[in-house]
Amino acid sequence: MFMGEYHPTLDEKGRVAIPMKLRRAFGENSVINKLVITHGSDKCIMAFREEDWRDFVKNRLITLPQSDPSNRMKMRVLLGGATECELDRQGRITIPSYLLAYAEIKREVVILGLYDKIEVWSGEIYGEYKPGGESLNVLAGDLGL
């Protein structure tokens, strides 16, 4: 599974390195060479392994009734905004300008491994969402920790 928080930087060509721990999250023999990226919640970019993306689309997205306008919008945003990104030799992906603009990523990047997906954030925006102090205590209490 994907897990962890990483802080790479975006280069001038719109590339960001996916940390080796995430590229090898599913075992040494299954190094990730391609990700599917799309719009995420709260101004982040979501990235999936190809098989996890197919499962998400097949089991959660395509099953939504298209008679509902909000479901049609979900299809447009998630599928219409999706693109395949091959990792180069340094493990970098090139993020399209429309996704960089959506996520407001300029230079500082936060990458989160979240079980079956990766989130790519602007460091600034993630700082607004990341819990700290008392909110962490509440979170721990909610989980019975």
**pTM for the complete prediction?**
0.90
Tell me, what CATH number does 15's domain have? 3.40.1550.20
| pLDDT tens, residue order, the chain (145 aa) | 999 999 999 999 999 999 999 999 988 778 899 999 999 999 999 999 999 999 999 999 999 999 999 999 999 999 999 999 999 999 999 999 999 999 999 999 999 999 999 999 999 999 998 877 788 888 888 888 8
Segments forming the whole domain that contains residue 90 = 2-142
- The domain tally of the chain equals 1
CA distance to 17, 41, 95, 138, per residue, from 125 (Å): 19, 12, 17, 22
